[in-house]
Amino acid sequence: MSADRPPLPPFTRETAILKVRGAENGWNTRDPQRVALAYTEDSRWRNRAEFLQGRPAIVEFLTRKWARELDYRLIKELWAFEGNRIAVRFAYEFRDDSGNWFRAYGNENWEFDEHGLMRARHASINDRPITESERKFHWDASKPRPDDHPSLSDLGL
């Protein structure tokens, strides 16, 4: 039996925003085990051109991701919602082990089960090299994005 992970569907605008911010905060921990708990045991993903299924695959994927994407900081923003589905847009910044900075832009479509666990995630993502001076995400990476930090829309992204 799955434990509930509120907010639960069907989503309102307010609960969808809470779900999006919760996902952002989770991913910003860069803790694959913790993040994977937000997904069903058999969750299905498409991330760029990679297809995954199940929590062990999610943990493996995220472990690889955050070993490559250093100083990772992510902002997610609600795009649309209905019933048990949420669409988000996001951007994140990271550097590689050579010190090159990137900003990734993307969209995700999420589907949740009745317990509030994500059972499907479809992500389309594009990376753009940036200079360190072009970075816009500067909060302490060991903490969630501060509430007063600008959103993607506020940043013109």
Domain boundaries, the chain: 13-134
pLDDT tens by residue, 97-131? 999 999 999 999 999 999 999 999 999 999 999 99
- Which pLDDT belongs to residue 2? 66
Rounded Cα distance, 52 and 118, in Å = 13
Which residues does residue 107 pair with via DSSP β-bridges, in sequence order?
89, 124
What mean pLDDT do residues 12-23 have? 98
3 confidence band (pLDDT: 50, 70, 90): confident
Rounded Cα distance, 66 and 81, in Å = 28
CB contact at 8 A, 123 and 50 = no
C-alpha pair distances (Å), 74 with each of 41, 94, 102: 24, 9, 12
Which residues does residue 78 pair with via DSSP β-bridges, in sequence order?
88
C-alpha pair distances (Å), 110 with each of 38, 53, 79, 104: 12, 14, 11, 19
- Which pLDDT belongs to residue 144? 94
Beta-sheet pairing, 118-130 with 39-47: parallel
Q: With 0.85 as the threshold, say if the pTM is over it.
A: yes
What mean pLDDT do residues 12-34 have? 98
- Which pLDDT belongs to residue 115? 98
CB contact at 8 A, 81 and 36 = no
32 confidence band (pLDDT: 50, 70, 90): very high
In CATH terms, 13-134 corresponds, of 3.90.1150.10, 3.40.50.11270, 3.10.450.50, 3.40.50.300, to: 3.10.450.50
Q: Which of 92, 100, 95 is nearest to 126 (CA)?
A: 92
What mean pLDDT do residues 75-90 have? 98
Examine the pLDDT at 79 and tell me if it is beyond 80. Answer: yes
